[in-house]
Structure 1
Amino acid sequence: MAWRFTPSKYKNTTPKVPKKEETIYDLPVGNLSCTNNAIHSSDHNLAFLIDGEGGKIGLLPLEARGRFLHHQTNIVYAHATSISDFCFTEFENLLVTCAGTEKMKIWQCSDVLKQTDDKPVHISDAISAITLGNNVLLECLSPHKTVSKLIAVGSSDAIFVVDLENEANIIELNADYDRVQSLNWSDSGSLLTASAKKGREGYIFDPRASSDPVQTLVLHSGMGREGRILFTNEGIVSSGFTNNRVQEVLLFDPRNWTQPIQKEIFEPSTGLLIPLYDRDTGLLFLAGKGSSKFTLTEINSSKWTLTRLQEQPVSEQTLGACLIRKMSCDVMTGEVQRIHQLTKNSIIPYQMCVPRRSYKDFHSDLYPLTVDSSTATTKGWLSGENVEPSKVSLNPNNAHISNAESNGHVGEPVSRTSDLSANTTGEDSNTPRKIHYQDVLVKNDSPAEENVSPNPHNGTTNKESITSKIPVNGNPTEVRSCENVAPIPVKMRAPPKSIPTAILQERKIRPKSCVAGTIQSKFRHVEASVATKKDTFTNLRNLNNRMPMEANPFAVSEKYAAVPLQGTAGSLAIFELSDPVKVPDGIIDAIQNGSPITDFQFNPFADRSNELAVALENGTLKLWEINDQIPCIGAPKTEEETAEENSEPAAPKLADLSPMKVIDVGNGKKITCLRYNPVAKGIICVGLANGVMAVWNLLEEKCILEIPAHTSGVLSLAWSTDGKRVATVGRDFMLRIFEPQDGIDCCVSEKKVLESSRGARVCFVCQDELLLLTSFSKTSSRQCSLYQLDGLNLLHNEIIDVGTSMIVPHFDYDTSVLFLTGKGDRTRVSFKVPRIKKDMFQRDVFPNALITWKPSLTGTEWETNTATNLQFCDLCPVGTKEFDNAVRAQAELGKTNAEPKVEGTVQNPKASLNPQHTNKESPIEEADLKLKTEKGWSERIHKDDGALEQDHVEGVAESEWTE
């Protein structure tokens, strides 16, 4: 009886109210007048009614967000009259519709996922139409919960059980009642319940045993327009009205169907409470039609009670509501369900989350095994079989079929996750998904894991067009085949090569801090300090504020900073960072490129960081060497140099400088972006406005690789830290990853990720295991998205703010700290971590730094795919004590003070080499050591003679005492 006192795990379930950009708005829903739920969801889609002539259904991906007008919405032209009811089948995601006396139709919604362009899909041809009789008025639908392609259909005078695969009516249930308005199967699939007579009577059928009801239920006494009834773990919940037009919910105990075990009265209203039940958690959601709130309740199947948890107010009146399939829940945020509210112009998703201290780990107590697929057949069900559907765990790391023990066999392990973290890379389903990139386990003797290539011939080339996942709002919910674009060849990924042990051991472990069992960053308390005026260049003017969105309007090296100026001559001012000053009035000396600048970057491996690569609009790439003899703005000057300038002729200027090299990279096409290889000297990658990506060896002035990376302009590109891969984002909304060392067929992965082609930035983060993308949403919100490198699965999407300028990411490889800057930031800011021991070196804050200023390879070695190791350097100054070592030394000192060493004793050297070795001493030596230890403590502790303080005070004379 311990369950009587056990609190529910879901009693604190809290709805998460979304922002406007996290909803679907401006939909053509209108004012609906229907007796169904008006919206349903499948594993990947949302189907909802649209106001207008005839029976039309809107169709959108489940993870769609943003603005969708009428001409942007996928529409199913289902019937000529108003739709009576519609639903998705339980396992095949087929859309089934019915309307009045028309035929029941079946629709294949995967057509939406196979659209070839951004235009919405209009579906008017059903894959099947089933006739259930002449002039039969179809009212409601209910898919079977254990058998695939089996559905119950309610009409004005009968109930049909229809086999969708064979398009046949296999069972007809006849009874003397008026207009069935709601149907629902039991979880076992053996019983069927129906609500009729406007919610006043209910019926329980055993379709395989008899066509007559086995039990009649007396439901609500009111004359409502409609009613709802459904099974809840073999119990029944009914929603209707009382005589006073008050909303009422009844709960029936399966042990006694004659009367309800509990009645719940709500508010007077003309709108019905739509009951939505989650059988995994026992939560019952009640959404009132026309109401501005929904109620969260819980059904305890042990005590058969209905408990109200909380009421959530909503901003708009509800026209319909539905729950999502359990597989679509974001389990790593504590989401146990998600209810979609349909209003007259929007769909608002409310996440139901259970608050926990941390969501780093999977909370198995919140997510029991859930239904995955059905193995039962219609023929077996008709013969009396009750086969339970297979169940899987929602744990992203591992999942197993739950009924393997019950049916006597062990099934293959199944790994299923939500749409936000689905694994589509073709890897083994048992392989745990890497959620924490910092938690790296290095095994010295373990062999390399083998990946199964989708192509039986590993390393072969697939020259067909790519079929890629196309998400809405950055989520993998659409599949699109690129038929109208130039095919981008894909090289199937071969099994990974074995990594040397030395390289594995060099992988750095990030500094972490554990507080109350939760891993937290050492940089969570980072402070920003604003630079003073004396450390800032002032009086800057004529700056070019019309640089392309994909260009970087600022570049720095160890010694110089480059800033573009206004004009069509491509002027580029150079500032020396050693001495910030006020820029003198007059014309600013600058490099003249002769064409508008599109991008520029300092060579990371050039001596004294004085080589600058400038990309121009005419497709040329100019390399400039900044001579130390040419004074730049901010160069420090002594009094002698100032006197010499006044007496000698004027020094050469930047405007008189000629480029070191001029290379025609784009053949007249505009260069949009360029990036130096981080490990190979002289290797640079450029992106062009026509979508071409080219890799050049600047030392030999030759093109190594040139491929059509995108069908339109390249917005951004980035090298991986090891210099082997290139990630690009284009105006065709695609994100692609290339391995240029493998030749022309080097595209290894691609995905549609952008919502807007205004601009984007991409960079490798977290030891090249993840990709960070900054972009714009459909509502002009600036957002950051994190993708897994293998498969490009979306891990997280963060909305920053609403703005017009592009957010530029700057990632620190050593600390994994991300800095985001945008156009309009005017203040120079430095960051520091507050520490107490400032005189000691903090190894946890300053790990070994990646060497980015020295090349590891030459251009020729990089072309031949020579292996290289990343190089790191120690940042600890010479002679500075480390904080960890100092603390350890202090601890040893305390230990020494606690147990003084005895002079003349020698420790066993083998004991220090073998930690399991113990040096056993004789009893005499132990007694001698004890005496010497006590003597050492006595010398350190002040001895007390036992006298009190008042004993040393002189009192009065004896003669002064009187009786």
Structure 2
Amino acid sequence: MSRSIVRQSKFRHVFGQTVKAEQGYDDIRVSKVTWDSSFCAVNPKFLAVIVESSGGGAFLVLPLDKSGRVDKNYPLVNGHSGPVLDIDWCPHDDNILASCSEDTTAMVWQIPDHSLTRPLSDPVVVLEGHSKRVGIITWHPTARNILLTAGSDNLVIIWNVGTGEPLITMDDHPDLIYSISWNRNGSLFCTTCKDRRLRVCDPRKRDVVAERLAPHEGIRPMRAIFTKDGNIFTTGFTRMSQRELGLWDPTHFEEPIALLELDTSNGVLLPYYDADASMVYLCGKGDSSIRYFEITDEPPFVHYLSTFSSKEPQRGMGFMPKRGVDVTKCEIARLFKLLDKKCEPITMTVPRKSDLFQDDLYPDTAGPEPAMEPEEWLNGRDEDPILVSLRGGYVAHKSREFKVSKKNVLDSRPTTRRSVSTLDTNNLPPELLGRLLEELQNLKATVLSQEKRISDLENKLSQFTNGTD
């Protein structure tokens, strides 16, 4: 009788644990918007959760140490006029957060180090270029101030938030975009779309460099993320509506590296990837469990490790960057599980008895310093993240003021949003710029003359009314 050989892995016994009740966050009215976003974003300083609010869209930002019951009058970040659909913390500044909304805008916020004392409704910059709701927002992993948004107008726009200007617009998707993920150095991103295609895009060439039709045969939404070595991990559904995951080499899209069927549940699987451990955590919307896998270069390539289960189903999930975990307790990941009215942190730990720093569990990880400026990235430079050591734990920086280097032309909120906001006057020919300026002057003169005429008519009407009394 043959015995199966147990695969050696330091992550084989990783176990999940919910923190004590007082270390959770209670009385949070989590958003009920039916959008397949995680509704939660976390970094070593703050927890942000999209919440229900009257009169527009809002999200809650709490310092991590402010656990327990959240006061129902706690100030919100509430600058959007429609429901907020996605939020993302800047990887290079723990006080900067980006949000996008059904109101067709994206906004960038500076969050103060202390708890908010009044509602925050003034973003640092407003990004207007989409004509329909904006459902995806994600920062570039290595270049300063580069932000990507995708909307229901099927556009992908890449912005320089330091100037408030769109740098690149791509319209290669004929239908709704489900997910977007940058690769490790930010030279490419992959997308999944309602047309059932998985695409790899080179934004600076404004081109789709590889694509695969139906990596999962089902018609329900897919998700895709780049792994550290450049492969793509996907989640989706089979033709029989079973949940499925896959691993693909984008240079040979014909056949998957691995394809695994999971179960018959219908919740979309949200993947969270840990590049340092080469692990992926799968959190299904409406599930009460988190499955985790290790990705290696040995068959079967995607190795199931274990499942963390709890009683209540999750509405969303936040994933802590590696520099925010507790290295003294061999914690390799921390997830923030959203329920209807609260948020529960879940720690993932490797069981070890030693109190010493575990070098093999904590290789140098991506730090908060950007590797390049936006102009360098736009001109074709690629850089991997600048790494920091976790020995001794990570200490978060104090807040630095985020400045927009030139006045955002969108502050005046023009009615013709898209045409004005996406206009790059620096690249216009001088004669066209001259004609536009002349037309602008003529329009101003027309407005002034009409205002004068209205004023004269009002005066005459007033005299006529007074004369008949």
The alpha-carbon deviation at position 245 of structure 1 amounts to 2.5
Hey, what does 1:162 align to over in structure 2?
159
The 2-side partners of 1:78 and 1:274 are apart by 27
TM-score by length of 1: 0.39
Hey, what does 2:227 align to over in structure 1?
232
The 2-side partners of 1:35 and 1:215 are apart by 25
1:204 is aligned, of 200, 203, 214, to 200
2:335 is aligned, of 312, 332, 339, to 339
1:242 is aligned, of 217, 238, 246, to 238
Hey, what does 2:42 align to over in structure 1?
41
The alpha-carbon deviation at position 65 of structure 1 amounts to 2.0
**Do structure 1's residue 103 and structure 2's residue 105 form an aligned pair?**
yes
The 1-side partners of 2:192 and 2:202 are apart by 15
Change (3 A) 1:162 1:301: farther
Change (3 A) 1:213 1:255: closer
The 2-side partners of 1:324 and 1:277 are apart by 11
Q: Secondary structure at the match of 2:377?
A: helix
1:216 is aligned, of 201, 211, 234, to 211
| Structure 1 residues 139-186: Cα deviation after superposition (integer angstroms, max 9, x where no partner) | 211211111111121123221111111111111222142011211110
**Do structure 1's residue 418 and structure 2's residue 415 form an aligned pair?**
no
| Structure 1 residues 209-245: Cα deviation after superposition (integer angstroms, max 9, x where no partner) | 2x23111122222222x33211011111122222232
Change (3 A) 1:304 1:160: farther
Q: Secondary structure at the match of 1:230?
A: strand
Hey, what does 1:174 align to over in structure 2?
171
Give the RMSD, CA atoms, in angstroms: 2.3
The 2-side partners of 1:148 and 1:30 are apart by 30
Q: Secondary structure at the match of 1:268?
A: coil
Hey, what does 2:457 align to over in structure 1?
none
Hey, what does 1:329 align to over in structure 2?
325
Hey, what does 1:126 align to over in structure 2?
123
Hey, what does 1:350 align to over in structure 2?
346
Change (3 A) 1:248 1:64: farther
Change (3 A) 1:346 1:203: same
Q: How many residue pairs are counted as aligned between the two chains?
A: 389
The 5 Å alignment of 1:161-560 reads 161-197=158-194, 200-209=196-205, 211-218=206-213, 219-224=215-220, 226-233=221-228, 234-301=230-297, 305-358=301-354, 360-372=355-367, 373-396=369-392, 417-418=393-394
Change (3 A) 1:330 1:320: same
TM-score by length of 2: 0.78
The 2-side partners of 1:279 and 1:121 are apart by 38
The 1-side partners of 2:167 and 2:6 are apart by 47
**Do structure 1's residue 28 and structure 2's residue 23 form an aligned pair?**
no
Hey, what does 2:448 align to over in structure 1?
none
- Partners of 2:105 and 2:128 within 8 A in 1: yes
The 2-side partners of 1:169 and 1:259 are apart by 37
Q: Secondary structure at the match of 2:9?
A: coil
Hey, what does 2:88 align to over in structure 1?
87
The 1-side partners of 2:364 and 2:298 are apart by 19
The 1-side partners of 2:143 and 2:7 are apart by 35
The 1-side partners of 2:303 and 2:143 are apart by 32
The alpha-carbon deviation at position 90 of structure 1 amounts to 1.6
Amino acid in the other structure paired with 1:364? D
- Partners of 2:43 and 2:324 within 8 A in 1: no
Change (3 A) 1:303 1:186: farther
The 1-side partners of 2:23 and 2:322 are apart by 20
The alpha-carbon deviation at position 315 of structure 1 amounts to 2.4
Q: Mark the structure with the bigger radius of gyration.
A: 1
The 2-side partners of 1:258 and 1:325 are apart by 33
The 1-side partners of 2:267 and 2:53 are apart by 21
The alpha-carbon deviation at position 6 of structure 1 amounts to 7.3
- Partners of 1:161 and 1:171 within 8 A in 2: yes
The 1-side partners of 2:388 and 2:173 are apart by 42
The alpha-carbon deviation at position 377 of structure 1 amounts to 0.9
The 1-side partners of 2:71 and 2:242 are apart by 37
Hey, what does 1:59 align to over in structure 2?
61
Hey, what does 1:483 align to over in structure 2?
none
Amino acid in the other structure paired with 1:390? I
Hey, what does 2:139 align to over in structure 1?
143
Amino acid in the other structure paired with 1:361? L
The 2-side partners of 1:204 and 1:197 are apart by 15
Q: Secondary structure at the match of 2:84?
A: coil
Q: Secondary structure at the match of 1:189?
A: coil
The 1-side partners of 2:340 and 2:117 are apart by 21
The structure, 1 or 2, with the larger RCO (C-alpha pairs under 8 Å, 6+ apart) is: 2
Change (3 A) 1:25 1:204: same
The alpha-carbon deviation at position 92 of structure 1 amounts to 1.9
The 2-side partners of 1:169 and 1:30 are apart by 29
Amino acid in the other structure paired with 2:179? S
- Partners of 1:296 and 1:310 within 8 A in 2: yes
| Structure 1 residues 532-559: Cα deviation after superposition (integer angstroms, max 9, x where no partner) | xxxxxxxxxxxxxxxxxxxxxxxxxxxx
Change (3 A) 1:145 1:311: same
Change (3 A) 1:180 1:22: same
The 5 Å alignment of 1:817-856 reads none
Amino acid in the other structure paired with 2:361? L
**Unaligned residue ranges in structure 1 (runs of 5+):** 397-416, 425-468, 470-476, 478-963
Change (3 A) 1:74 1:336: farther
The alpha-carbon deviation at position 88 of structure 1 amounts to 1.3
The 2-side partners of 1:369 and 1:5 are apart by 28
- Partners of 1:250 and 1:262 within 8 A in 2: yes
- Partners of 2:184 and 2:385 within 8 A in 1: no
Hey, what does 1:736 align to over in structure 2?
none
Amino acid in the other structure paired with 1:128? V
- Partners of 2:36 and 2:268 within 8 A in 1: no
The 2-side partners of 1:148 and 1:259 are apart by 36
- Partners of 1:32 and 1:319 within 8 A in 2: no
Amino acid in the other structure paired with 1:80? S
The 1-side partners of 2:325 and 2:191 are apart by 30
The 1-side partners of 2:225 and 2:175 are apart by 19
- Partners of 1:60 and 1:74 within 8 A in 2: no
The 2-side partners of 1:68 and 1:101 are apart by 27
The 2-side partners of 1:74 and 1:6 are apart by 50
- Partners of 1:174 and 1:212 within 8 A in 2: no
Change (3 A) 1:263 1:74: farther
Between 333-342 and 300-309, report the one with greater CA deviation: 300-309
Change (3 A) 1:289 1:45: same
- Partners of 1:204 and 1:215 within 8 A in 2: yes
- Partners of 1:205 and 1:214 within 8 A in 2: yes
Hey, what does 1:927 align to over in structure 2?
none
The 2-side partners of 1:190 and 1:304 are apart by 28
**Unaligned residue ranges in structure 2 (runs of 5+):** 400-469
Hey, what does 1:688 align to over in structure 2?
none
Change (3 A) 1:239 1:120: farther
Q: Secondary structure at the match of 1:327?
A: helix
Amino acid in the other structure paired with 1:215? A
The alpha-carbon deviation at position 418 of structure 1 amounts to 3.5
| Structure 1 residues 746-804: Cα deviation after superposition (integer angstroms, max 9, x where no partner) | xxxxxxxxxxxxxxxxxxxxxxxxxxxxxxxxxxxxxxxxxxxxxxxxxxxxxxxxxxx
The 2-side partners of 1:380 and 1:47 are apart by 31
The alpha-carbon deviation at position 267 of structure 1 amounts to 2.2
The 1-side partners of 2:377 and 2:30 are apart by 39
